[in-house]
């Protein structure tokens, strides 16, 4: 938990946000995501594009405050996010994927919620575009720590598109686990919860998931689920472990059926 002094500082001070966007060969999709950050009603301190694509991002035309960090190709989203957070200068790091969007008042709503609560991390409302292209509610992290324990068997709304976290807390926890091919977001959430850190939902901060045909391989999901259980099973309740194994078995069966 944040100390009382830290909470008072949050309520009285100006919050400084660094936005980290990992990107890999997204083209126009990246520019769309970048524009939604630059158009925020509460401008961030900086935007860090962690470019790990095969083709380097052309920074021509990027405004001041946008920094491109070029890495080796295809290092993966977890390592890219961690690299951005390490280089960030803000007190908070807000993550966005290079093919998703924030509504214009996203950071403003997050800042207000963090000032109210002094929380360690805030999670926006996830929405997904329907067949007509309209955003519809998808996931929102539960309010209570008890409800948030759903991360032990499913993802209730904690991801790289809607997470804003104190930079010092993120770095102290080692960020996202770079060895996990999937479920790395759930893993970070679980570690924060087990350490007593406070996570708060922000219904007014809307992050829109934009499906465009790129789907993570199912075998990566299975490996990620298996690694998650291996890391956390000792801290999981019997019901949570049962549900997690049930999901893992279902995904294995889907792979077998679709062979």
pLDDT digits (tens, 9 = 90+) for 193-252: 999 999 999 999 999 998 754 444 678 999 999 999 999 999 999 999 999 999 999 998
Residue 14 has pLDDT above 90, yes or no: no
- Three-state secondary-structure class, residue 157: coil
Question: 69 with 80: CB under 8 angstroms?
Answer: no
Contact predicate 151/139, CB 8 Å: no
Q: Supply the pLDDT for residue 11.
A: 45
Residue with tokens 């991002």, as numbered in its chain: 57
User: pTM, whole model, 2 decimals?
Assistant: 0.93
Domain spanning 4-214, CATH architecture: Alpha-Beta Complex (3.90)
| DSSP-assigned letters across all residues of 196-225 | T--EEEEEEEEEEE---S----HHHHHHHH
pLDDT in tens, 153-183: 999 999 999 999 999 999 999 999 999 999 9
Tokens of 67: 């920094």
> Domain-by-domain residue ranges, the chain?
4-214
Using alpha carbons, list the distances in angstroms from residue 59 to 35, 49, 253: 14, 10, 45
- State yes or no: pLDDT of 12 exceeds 50: no
Task: Compute CA distances 171 → 4, 196, 258, whole Å.
Answer: 21, 16, 40
């Amino acid at each position: 938990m944040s100390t009382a002094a830290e909470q008072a500082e949050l309520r009285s001070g100006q919050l400084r946000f660094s936005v980290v966007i990992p990107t890999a060969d997204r083209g126009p999709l990246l520019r769309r995501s970048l524009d939604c950050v630059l158009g925020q009603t509460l401008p961030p301190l900086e935007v860090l594009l962690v470019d790990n694509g095969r083709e380097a991002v052309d920074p021509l035309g990027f405004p001041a405050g946008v920094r491109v960090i070029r890495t080796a190709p295809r290092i993966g989203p977890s390592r890219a996010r961690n690299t951005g957070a390490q280089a960030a200068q803000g007190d908070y790091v807000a993550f966005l994927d290079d093919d998703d969007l924030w509504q214009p008042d996203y950071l403003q709503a997050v800042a207000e919620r963090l000032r109210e609560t002094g929380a360690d991390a805030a999670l926006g409302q996830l929405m997904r575009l329907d067949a007509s292209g309209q955003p519809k509610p998808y996931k929102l992290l539960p309010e209570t720590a008890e409800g948030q324990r759903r991360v032990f068997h499913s993802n209730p709304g904690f991801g790289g598109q809607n997470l804003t976290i104190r930079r010092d807390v993120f770095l102290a926890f080692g960020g996202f686990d770079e060895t996990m091919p999937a479920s790395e977001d759930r893993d970070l959430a679980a570690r924060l919860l087990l350490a007593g850190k406070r996570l708060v939902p922000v219904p007014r901060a809307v992050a829109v998931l934009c499906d465009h045909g790129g789907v993570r391989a199912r075998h990566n999901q299975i490996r990620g689920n298996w690694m998650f259980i291996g890391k956390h099973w000792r801290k999981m309740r019997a019901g949570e472990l049962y549900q997690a194994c049930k999901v893992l078995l279902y995904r294995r069966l889907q792979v077998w059926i679709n062979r």
